[in-house]
Amino acid sequence: MKTGIWLVTVWSGLNFLVGAAVLVMTLLGKPPPALALVMTPQEIVAVSPKALAVVNAQAAIANPLICAVCVMTTVLLWGPVRHQQRWAWHTLVGTLVPVQVCGFVSDSFLGGTAMAANIVSSVVLGAGLLLCRARSAT
C-alpha cells in the first residue's frame, strides 16, 4: 500500500510543479507554454491579443485548480487512505481518473503532442491507485 501512496504522491507532485510553473509564467506575462507545443515563437508573437487573453485567462484559473487538486490528493493519501478509510480512496479515484482522462482530451486539441507523457502519467496514477486500493478496501 505504501508503494501506491508514494506513486500517487509522485504523480501529484509532478502535476503540482507543472501547474505552478505555468501559473507563474502566466502571471509574469510569459507566452503560454501550451502555445509553444503547436506554434513557432514567431507565430506566438502574432497571436491576437484577444485570443492570447483567453488562453491566459484559462491558464490563470486552471493551474491553481490543478495545484489545489494535487494538495488535496496528498492530504487524502497520507491521512485517510493510509489509515485505510475506503471513502478517501473512492474520492481520489472519482476525482483523479476524470482529470487524467481530460489530460488526453486536452492533448487532442494540441495534436497529441503530450501523448507519451499522458500515457506514463496514466500508468503511474493507475498503478498507484490500484496499490492503494489493495488494503484500503478491506
CA distances (Å), origin 49, targets 31, 52, 56: 11, 5, 10
pTM value surpassing 0.85: yes
Residues ≥6 apart with Cβ < 8 Å to 14: 121
Contact (CB, 8 A) for 89 and 81 = yes
Over the stretch 20-47, which tens digit does the pLDDT of each residue have? 999 999 999 998 888 988 999 999 999 9
Domain ranges (residues) in the chain: 2-136
DSSP character at residue 32: P
Over the stretch 100-135, which tens digit does the pLDDT of each residue have? 999 999 999 999 999 999 999 999 999 999 999 855
